[in-house]
Chain A
Amino acid sequence: MSIRGIEMHYFAMCHRKLWLFNRGIGFELEHDRVIEGLVLHDQAYSRLTKEVSLDEFTTIDTIDGDIVREVKISSRMEHADRLQMLYYLYLLRQRGIEKKGLLSYPKEKKTVGIELDAEGEQEIEQAIKSIDSLLSGKVPNLRKKTYCKKCAYFDYCFVGEEEDAV
């Protein structure tokens, strides 16, 4: 199964979101925060080459010499950002290309360097296995997380009807 970087990110964040997104049930198109992210993506590092395609599925934000960059609005999901970056480095290594990663949070004036070590490699291989089994199953149940409210999927996940009102 082909997994994109964004799906690796969603895997670290919410299994339900990953499952829905993978089935084409996405809610990103109209969500203000997602649009904000797209604009940031366009504006940040405008001098660098953007959208480097690895294959028909995976695109990397920017490659700047030895460094793969990924731009994010906030560092709140740093663990997910890290996994996504490790995945890009992993995909590149599979193609015989060695790079280092750099997560950029321009709004916070912060960057985080990422390197793919043996441990990271193992982590990615484990994640790929989990994602494969997760996606072949039923839609994961709703589990409320602290960051649900900011998610583009919030309305979908939380809309429902209370037991019959008379």
Chain B
Amino acid sequence: MKRDVFMMSGGRLKRKDNTLYFVNEEGLSRPLPIEQTDNIHIFGQVDMNSSMLHLLSSHGVQLHLYNYYGFYDGSFVPRKKQVSGFTVVQQSSHVWDNEKRMYIARQFIQSAVHHMQRNIRKYGAEEEVSSYIGTLSAHAALLDEARSIPQLMGIEGQCRQVYYGSFNCMLKGGWKWEYRSKRPPHDPINAMISFGNSIMYTAVLSEIYKTVLDPTISFLHESSSKRYSLCLDIAEIFKPLITDSIIFNLINNRRIQEKHFDQEDGLVYLSDEGRKRFLAAFDEKMKSTFKHRQLKRNVSYRYLIRLEAYKLIKHMIGDTVYKPFKAWW
């Protein structure tokens, strides 16, 4: 099983012969097993050169960069090995045709809501759970009647409002949810949501890149020139399933505390130590496995994202109709 490497500190990534080394600021050199690496995430200031990138390319390793605040900046992605013009044409046709586009976009939201309800059921205080779940179901029922993408987005927004409203019944230890704020986040919970979404987004990107899907052609989100918007679509499914449950676990088990955040004029970010803790939990979760009902073997959460991409390909080429992942346990 390949894994992700997270580099919090600064230093130099270098190639010596056919091995990758990380030299830290003290000049200490440590080899990184490139054969076992899937993605390298860089949070600190790291020097590198093209010969190192060639090495990454020959092993299909992706390199992702995050800025000072932990927001995603960009990636170095090796030449795509999997290409199928046929599939890209099919994928586009599913955006072009409004009915087809609505079908796929709706599935993403339905799965997202399913996982939001699952979180509430799992972490929520008993007396409040059923009312939140009921309200979410009522909103989600309107998805079938929506006729345009903005209508779908509206319903998705309402569901998210209800879901965030339920956070106070899921958080223990005096943590209070106020409201969602991004770029910049105003409190620790928002800081974690934003950071988690960044990481989830690149995880989805790296899995999509291993398939023939084109990450710029999306359904729920508008295909724009700036972002790999298909990642945003697919991340809808996995944000509540993976990222949010990590946040609840970190908070409720006191694995992350106020001291793991930096405050700057009311703007809140995870500190280096906070990020380390979050990433460790994220990596642990992505590596953990469960028994897949159809494949009848253990699959990791990371691989689950790839399987979702496979199902989309099947849908687009007229193989089998897409049904989104809905955790059943």
B302-329 vs A, Cβ < 8 Å mask (1 yes, 0 no): 0000010011011001111001111010
Contact between chains at A23 and B326 (CB < 8 Å)? no
Interface of A is mostly: loop
CA distance A47 to B241 in the complex (A): 54
Contact between chains at A164 and B326 (CB < 8 Å)? yes
Contact between chains at B318 and A138 (CB < 8 Å)? yes
The verdict on B33 contacting chain A, using a C-beta distance below 8 Å, is no
Which one of A139, A155, A162 contacts B310 once the chains associate, using CB atoms below 8 Å? Answer: A155
Least CB distance, B46 to chain A, in whole angstroms: 27
Known: A30-B210, A139-B319, A161-B323. A25 touches B84 (CB 8 A): yes
Contact between chains at A165 and B328 (CB < 8 Å)? yes
- List residues of chain A with CB within 8 A of the CB of B326: 161, 164-165
CA distance A159 to B294 in the complex (A): 6
The verdict on B267 contacting chain A, using a C-beta distance below 8 Å, is no
Can you name the residue of chain A whose Cβ is closest to the Cβ of B319?
A139
Contact between chains at A155 and B307 (CB < 8 Å)? yes
Known: A24-B85, A29-B81. A159 touches B313 (CB 8 A): no
Contact between chains at B320 and A160 (CB < 8 Å)? yes
Can you name the residue of chain A whose Cβ is closest to the Cβ of B304?
A159
- List residues of chain B with CB within 8 A of the CB of A120: none
Least CB distance, A119 to chain B, in whole angstroms: 35
Inter-chain CB contacts under 8 Å: number: 59
The verdict on B280 contacting chain A, using a C-beta distance below 8 Å, is no
Interface of B is mostly: loop
- Report which residue of B318, B324, B328 has the largest number of chain A beta carbons within 10 angstroms of its beta carbon: B328
Contact between chains at A160 and B323 (CB < 8 Å)? yes
The verdict on B295 contacting chain A, using a C-beta distance below 8 Å, is yes
The verdict on A106 contacting chain B, using a C-beta distance below 8 Å, is no
**How big is the B interface, by class?**
20 to 34
Which one of A23, A158, A164 contacts B87 once the chains associate, using CB atoms below 8 Å? Answer: A23
Which one of B86, B310, B311 contacts A24 once the chains associate, using CB atoms below 8 Å? Answer: B86
Contact between chains at A158 and B294 (CB < 8 Å)? yes
**How big is the A interface, by class?**
10 to 19
Contact between chains at A160 and B212 (CB < 8 Å)? no
CA distance A23 to B84 in the complex (A): 6
Contact between chains at A139 and B317 (CB < 8 Å)? yes
B94-114 vs A, Cβ < 8 Å mask (1 yes, 0 no): 000000000000000000000
The verdict on B131 contacting chain A, using a C-beta distance below 8 Å, is no
Can you name the residue of chain B whose Cβ is closest to the Cβ of A162?
B293
Least CB distance, A32 to chain B, in whole angstroms: 11
The verdict on B50 contacting chain A, using a C-beta distance below 8 Å, is no
- List residues of chain B with CB within 8 A of the CB of A26: 82
Known: A26-B82, A139-B319. A155 touches B295 (CB 8 A): yes
CA distance A165 to B326 in the complex (A): 7
- List residues of chain B with CB within 8 A of the CB of A138: 318
- List residues of chain A with CB within 8 A of the CB of B86: 23-25
- List residues of chain A with CB within 8 A of the CB of B319: 139
Can you name the residue of chain A whose Cβ is closest to the Cβ of B293?
A162
Least CB distance, A152 to chain B, in whole angstroms: 12
Least CB distance, A27 to chain B, in whole angstroms: 9
The verdict on A156 contacting chain B, using a C-beta distance below 8 Å, is yes
Which one of B87, B293, B311, B325 contacts A25 once the chains associate, using CB atoms below 8 Å? Answer: B87
Known: A155-B295, A159-B307, A160-B294. A24 touches B212 (CB 8 A): yes
Contact between chains at B83 and A24 (CB < 8 Å)? yes
CA distance A161 to B324 in the complex (A): 7
Given contacts A23-B84, A139-B317, A160-B320, 7 further A-B contacts (CB under 8 A): A24-B84, A24-B86, A154-B295, A155-B307, A161-B323, A162-B294, A165-B328
> Can you list 30 pairs linking A and B with CB atoms under 8 Å apart?
A23-B84, A23-B86, A24-B83, A24-B85, A24-B87, A24-B212, A25-B313, A29-B81, A29-B210, A138-B318, A139-B317, A139-B319, A155-B310, A156-B310, A156-B313, A158-B294, A159-B292, A159-B307, A159-B314, A160-B320, A160-B323, A161-B311, A161-B323, A161-B324, A161-B326, A162-B293, A162-B328, A164-B323, A164-B326, A165-B326
